[in-house]
Amino acid sequence: MKQLINVPETVVADALRGMAVAHPELTVDVENRVVVRGDAPVLGKVGLVSGGGSGHEPLHGSFVGHGMLDAACPGEVFTSPVPDQMVRAAAAVDSGAGVLFVVKNYTGDVLNFDMAAELAQDEGIRVAKVLVQDDVAVTDSLFTAGRRGTGGTLFVEKMAGAAAQEGAPLERVEGVARRVAESSRSFGVALSPCTTPAKGSPTFDLPAGELELGVGIHGEPGRERRAMMTSGEIADFTVDAVLEDLPPDGPVIALVNGMGGTPLLELYGFAAEVHRVLGERGVPVTRTLVGNYVTSLDMAGASVTLCRVDEELLRLWDAPVRTAGLRWAA
């Protein structure tokens, strides 16, 4: 697999240099690998910080901005960032109102954010944490004890970000984040593996006529492999897997997410099938977001995340957001 890179060793730093030139409204610390809102710290505002391995862009760096994250810490590709990055990020965004760490459930991320929280608290920063573990495909996987954190992260960052932007105190921002995390479930499929810069070849084998049902965002194994299915069949399987775990007792927001290598043309067709299944199951969909948001480099495939929303969460979803990767006005 050919890649548009210089050398594998500088891929993350190169991307950060690109973010810096493309987004002058951000403060990008290339050396220390921290992306911060240019106007941070915002007086009286809770700081939202997330991070994780690179390779899932636009998550997290492109979600830094008004109404979403205050800072993001990118690790190497598919590798946790280190506590030092997280502490720097917390210090950069804390205005005295405290900081919330949004943590995807991967062992390295969890350990390092835990350590960072202790270090930041030692420096006098109030820190709360929320763990995102929305992937219903498997419990305990490569890199994870329990369930993996995937597409639900976008919902947590958007809605908790909106609450923080409104000036909610730390306890409430944390409460929103926790509620969104508990209301979100995901399931993904892979049609092809991805290729990391360091390896330069596919990270796993997927035979020509098969797909992986329940794949993780690093290509971790899912529930099973089957002979290739149609978009409609994949939507049936995927939505039912999510609904089995998230009983449909109210309206949902649907994220129809591409893994990176699947064309938008196909994703929109898949979104139509996802809506068809949700309609057949009697689940009202209030908002639908279609695109590549939580990716696995060049992997072909898609995931569906459903987030059950009440009036407050829907209002927080609709609130204005201005980031490189997600933006809308009120």
Choose which of 257, 292, 303, 305 interacts with its own copies (CB under 8 A).
292
Is 275 tagged catalytic?
Answer: no
Site for its own copies in 241-280 (CB under 8 A): 256, 260-273, 275
Query: Under the criterion CB under 8 A, does residue 294 sit at the interface with its own copies?
Result: no
Of 328, 324, 304, the residue nearest 316 (C-alpha): 328
Query: Under the criterion CB under 8 A, does residue 237 sit at the interface with its own copies?
Result: no
Q: Which residue has the tokens 């809102």?
A: 37
Token output for 21: 């030139």
Phi, psi torsion values for 301, nearest 5 degrees: 145, -175
Integer Cα distance of 196 and 56 in angstroms: 11
Is 23 tagged catalytic?
Answer: no
Residues 6+ apart with CB under 8 A from 146: 105, 133, 139, 140
Query: Under the criterion CB under 8 A, does residue 38 sit at the interface with its own copies?
Result: no
By the 8 A CB rule, do 184 and 155 touch?
Answer: yes
Q: Which residue has the tokens 């007792």?
A: 249
Query: Under the criterion CB under 8 A, does residue 94 sit at the interface with its own copies?
Result: no
Q: Does residue 41 have a cis bond before it (omega within 30 degrees)?
A: yes
CA 218 to chain centre: 13
Query: Under the criterion CB under 8 A, does residue 175 sit at the interface with its own copies?
Result: no
C-beta of 174: minimal distance to its own copies in Å?
Answer: 29
Catalytic hit among 23, 60, 66, 218: 218
Closer of 18 and 96 to its own copies (Cβ): 18
Integer Cα distance of 31 and 10 in angstroms: 11
Choose which of 68, 132, 164, 300 interacts with its own copies (CB under 8 A).
300
Closer of 96 and 279 to its own copies (Cβ): 279
C-beta of 248: minimal distance to its own copies in Å?
Answer: 17
Query: Under the criterion CB under 8 A, does residue 145 sit at the interface with its own copies?
Result: no
Integer Cα distance of 300 and 192 in angstroms: 5
Query: Under the criterion CB under 8 A, does residue 212 sit at the interface with its own copies?
Result: no
Q: Which residue has the tokens 């697999």?
A: 1
Binding stretches for its own copies (CB under 8 A): 1-7, 10-12, 14-22, 54-55, 57-58, 62, 77, 191-192, 208-209, 211, 228, 230-232, 234, 256, 260-273, 275, 285, 288-290, 292, 295, 297-298, 300-302, 320, 322, 324, 327-329
Residues carrying an active site annotation: 56, 218
